[in-house]
C-alpha cells in the first residue's frame, strides 16, 4: 500500500474507523498521530461493535502493527482499560502489535478536572469538549511543563515531576473552588498503568523510519476532523491538535516526502458534536437520522448535530489537507430523503463566500446557498458495485466529489466491512 494519510474532512465522526479498518487489509502498519481518547472510532465485525479511542483501528486485523505516535496525548489508565477491553474480546494486543511512543505526552487527572472547570466558567460560550483533558494536556506540552511516557516509566523522575505539577495545579483547582488532587492517589494509579504499558513503550520514530526504509505500507490514522483542527478549524470551537494532514508528519516523525497520498473521509451529509457554528445544520435531517437511531456520539453518547452536505467546507478541507481521494460514508443515511440539499456557497448579506471564513462570528452568520438533488428513495445498503447504484445516487456522489475537488474512490453504504464499494 502507498503510504496513506487518512483525515476526517468535516467535523469528526465521518466514519474514519470503518474506512481505516477496511484500508488496513492492505497496510502493514497503522499509526495514530494526534488527539487522545476524545476520539471514538467505531468498527463492526459481524454483529460485534468495537469503539477504539486511543488504539489505532487497525488493531482488529491480525498481523498488523499499530503505533501510537508522539503527537498523541495518552491517559495511561484509560489506555490500559482499552487494552484490557480488547483482550476480553479476544483481540490480540501485545508489544509485538502495539507500539507506543515514549515521547507522547500524558493526560493527567488535573487536565481532566481543568477541562471540566473551564467549560463551567465559559458558561454559554463553552466548547462542548469531551472532558477528557485534551486541551489542558496539549497546553502543558506547548508550555513545556508536560510529562511524557518516558517520564512515567522512570519511577523517580515521574514522582519528582508529578509532585511539582500537582502542587501548581492544586492551586489552580483551588481557585476554581474544585477539590485538590492527592499526589499519592494519582501517582500510584499512573505508576501501575506505567508498569503495564512499559513493554509497549519505545522509540516509534526510529521504528517508523526503518519501516519506511524497508518500504512497509503505512496508514496514518487521523482523529477528529478538519474543522476541529487547532489552526484550520472553527477556533475556538476546535480540539487542541492538528487534525489535518500535516499532523500526521509531526505526530509520527515521518517527513512529508515519505507520504504518497491523502484520503479524506466524509459523510454524505454533515454532523458535528459539541458547540460552534455548523452552517448547514437542519432539523429535518437531524430528526430523520436520530429517529433511525443514528448519529449519537461514540465517546460521550451526545446526540450529534446534523445538516446537509457542505461542499464549501469539504472543498476547504481538500485545500488544507491536499486530499487526493475521497471515501464517502453513510450514503444509506439519505435513502429516504425526497430532496437532498448540498451547500455550494455561503452568503452573509450581499457577500458570498466559497471558502470557510476565518472569523467564527462571520461563519455563524453564514446562510448556505443550496443546490438541490432528487433523492433516490430506495435502500442502498445491499449494493456492492458502483454500477448498481440508482442513477440519482451516482449523480449525487459525482456532484459532491466534483464540488469537493477530489476523486471518489470509496463509497460506504453501511457500517460493515462488506458494505464498502471501491471505485
Catalytic site positions: 13, 41
Q: How many CA atoms are closer than 13 Å to the CA of 197, on its beta-carbon side? A: 33
Q: What would the DSSP string read from start to end of 377-398?
A: -S--TT--SGGGS-HHHHHHHH
Angstrom distance (rounded) from CA 368 to CA 370: 6
* Interaction pattern, residues 273-312, with ligand GDP; x per rule: CB under 6 A: -------------------------x--------------
| 38 contact choice in Mg ion, ligand IMO, ligand GDP, none (CB below 5 to 8 Å, kind-dependent) | ligand IMO
Q: Is 330 in the site for ligand GDP (CB under 6 A)?
A: yes
Which of the choices Mg ion, ligand GDP, ligand IMO, none does residue 135 contact, using the CB cut-off of 5 to 8 A by kind? ligand IMO
Cis preceding linkage at 184, omega within 30 = no
User: 505526552: which residue's cell?
Assistant: 105
Contact status: 212 vs ligand GDP (CB under 6 A): no
Those residues with Cβ within 8 angstroms of residue 214's Cβ, 6 or more apart along the chain or in another chain: none
Subset of 331-370 contacting ligand GDP (CB under 6 A): 332
CB of 308 closer than 8 Å to CB of 342: yes
> How far, in Å, CA of 378 to CA of 210, rounded?
49
Nearer Cβ to ligand GDP (103/298): 298
40 binds Mg ion (CB under 5 A): yes
Applying CB under 5 A, among 212, 250, 298, 300 the residue interacting with Mg ion is 298
When CB distances are held under 5 to 8 angstroms depending on the partner's kind, the choice from ligand IMO, Mg ion, ligand GDP, none that residue 18 binds is ligand GDP
DSSP for residue 117: H
Q: Which does 329 bind (CB under 5 to 8 A by kind): ligand IMO, ligand GDP, Mg ion, none?
A: ligand GDP
Q: Which residue is nearest to ligand IMO (CB)?
A: 274
Query: Of the listed pieces 10-18, 184-192, 245-253, 345-353, which binds ligand GDP according to CB under 6 A?
Result: 10-18
Does 224 help bind ligand IMO (rule: CB under 6 A)?
Answer: yes
Q: Does 212 bind Mg ion (CB under 5 A)?
A: no
Q: Provide the CA 82 distance to its chain's centre, in angstroms.
A: 17
Residue 56 binds ligand IMO (CB under 6 A):
no
Residue for grid cell 454559554: 124
Going by DSSP bridges, is the β-strand pair 98-101/65-68 parallel, antiparallel, or unpaired?
parallel
> Is 329 one of the binding residues for ligand IMO (CB under 6 A)?
no
330 sits near ligand IMO (criterion: CB under 6 A): no
Among the residue ranges 32-40, 92-100, 141-149, 304-312, the one whose residues contact Mg ion (CB under 5 A) = 32-40
Cβ closest to ligand IMO, residue 160 vs residue 231: 231
Is 35 a binding residue for ligand GDP by CB under 6 A? The answer is: no
DSSP string, 202-250: E-HHHHHHHHHHTT--EEEE--S-GGG-TTTSSTTSS-SS--STHHHHH
- φ, ψ dihedrals at 5, nearest 5°: -100, 125
Q: Which stretch binds ligand GDP (CB under 6 A): 129-137, 233-241, 325-333, 402-410?
A: 325-333
Candidate residues 3, 4, 57, 239; the one interacting with ligand IMO per rule CB under 6 A = 239
Task: Determine contact, residues 122/84, Cβ cutoff 8 Å.
Answer: no
Cell numbers linked to 241: 491538535
Residue 279 binds ligand IMO, judged by CB under 6 A: no
Residues 108-127 that bind ligand IMO (CB under 6 A): 127
Question: Dihedrals φ, ψ of 95, to 5°?
Answer: -65, -5
Taking alpha carbons only, the member of 137, 74, 61, 144 closest to residue 104 is 74
360 neighbors 236 (Cβ within 8 angstroms)? yes
12 binds ligand IMO (CB under 6 A): yes
Minimal distance in Å, beta carbon 16 to ligand IMO? 6
Closest CA to 108 of 154, 55, 170, 155: 170
- Taking the C-alpha atoms of residue 171 and residue 187, their distance in angstroms, rounded to an integer, is 18
Should residue 246 be labelled a site residue for ligand IMO when binding is judged by CB under 6 A? no
Record the cell numbers describing residue 199, joined without a space: 513493554
Q: Return the C-alpha cell found at 183.
A: 499526589
Q: What span, in angstroms and rounded, lies between the C-alpha atoms of 272 and 277?
A: 9
Are 173 and 117 within 8 A, CB to CB? yes
Residue 309 interface partner, choices ligand IMO, ligand GDP, Mg ion, none, CB cut-off 5-8 Å depending on type: none
Choice between 253 and 307, CB closer to ligand GDP: 307
Binding site for ligand IMO (CB under 6 A): 8, 12-13, 38-41, 127-130, 132, 134-135, 223-225, 228, 239-240, 273-274
Binding site for ligand GDP (CB under 6 A): 8, 12-18, 40-42, 44, 298, 329-330, 332, 412-415
Amino acid at each position: 500500500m502507498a503510504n496513506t494519510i487518512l483525515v476526517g474532512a468535516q467535523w469528526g465522526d465521518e466514519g474514519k474507523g470503518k474506512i481505516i479498518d477496511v484500508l488496513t487489509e492492505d497496510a502493514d502498519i497503522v499509526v495514530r498521530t494526534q488527539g487522545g481518547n476524545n476520539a471514538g472510532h467505531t468498527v463492526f465485525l459481524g454483529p460485534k461493535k468495537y469503539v477504539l479511542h486511543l488504539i489505532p483501528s487497525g488493531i482488529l486485523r491480525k498481523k498488523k502493527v499499530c503505533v501510537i505516535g508522539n503527537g498523541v496525548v495518552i491517559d495511561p489508565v484509560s489506555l490500559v482499560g482499552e487494552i484490557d477491553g480488547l483482550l476480553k474480546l479476544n483481540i490480540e494486543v501485545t508489544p509485538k502489535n502495539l507500539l507506543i511512543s515514549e515521547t507522547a505526552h500524558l493526560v493527567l487527572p488535573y487536565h481532566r478536572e481543568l477541562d471540566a472547570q473551564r467549560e463551567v466558567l465559559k458558561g454559554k460560550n463553552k466548547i462542548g469538549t469531551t472532558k477528557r483533558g485534551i486541551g489542558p494536556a496539549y497546553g502543558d506540552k506547548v508550555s513545556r511543563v508536560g510529562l511524557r511516557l518516558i517520564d512515567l516509566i522512570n519511577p523517580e523522575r515521574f514522582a519528582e515531576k508529578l509532585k511539582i505539577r500537582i502542587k501548581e495545579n492544586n492551586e489552580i483547582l483551588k481557585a476554581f473552588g474544585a477539590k485538590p488532587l492527592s499526589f499519592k492517589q494519582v501517582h500510584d494509579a499512573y505508576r501501575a498503568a506505567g508498569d503495564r504499558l512499559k513493554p509497549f513503550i519505545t522509540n516509534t520514530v526510529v521504528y517508523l523510519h526503518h519501516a519506511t526504509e524497508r518500504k512497509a505500507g503505512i496508514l496514518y490514522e487521523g482523529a477528529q476532523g478538519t474543522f476541529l483542527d487547532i489552526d484550520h478549524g472553527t477556533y475556538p470551537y476546535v480540539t487542541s491538535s492538528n487534525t489535518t494532514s500535516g499532523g500526521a508528519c509531526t505526530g509520527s516523525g515521518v517527513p512529508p516526502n515519505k507520504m504518497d497520498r491523502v484520503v479524506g473521509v466524509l459523510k454524505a451529509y454533515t454532523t458535528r458534536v459539541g458547540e460552534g457554528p455548523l452552517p448547514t445544520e437542519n432539523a429535518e435531517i437531524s430528526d430523520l437520522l436520530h429517529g433511525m437511531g443514528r448519529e449519537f456520539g461514540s465517546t460521550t453518547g451526545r446526540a450529534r448535530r446534523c445538516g446537509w452536505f457542505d461542499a464549501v467546507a469539504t472543498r476547504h478541507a481538500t485545500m488544507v489537507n491536499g486530499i487526493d481521494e475521497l471515501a464517502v460514508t453513510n450514503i444509506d443515511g439519505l435513502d429516504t430523503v425526497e430532496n437532498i440539499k448540498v451547500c455550494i456557497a455561503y452568503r452573509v448579506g450581499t457577500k458570498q463566500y466559497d471558502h470557510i471564513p476565518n472569523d467564527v462570528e462571520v461563519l455563524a452568520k453564514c446562510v448556505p446557498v443550496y443546490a438541490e438533488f432528487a433523492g433516490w428513495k430506495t435502500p442502498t445498503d445491499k449494493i456492492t458495485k458502483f454500477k448498481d447504484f440508482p442513477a440519482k445516487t451516482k449523480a449525487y456522489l459525482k456532484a459532491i466529489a466534483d464540488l469537493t475537488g477530489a476523486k471518489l474512490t470509496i463509497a460506504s453504504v453501511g457500517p460493515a466491512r462488506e458494505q464498502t464499494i471501491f471505485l
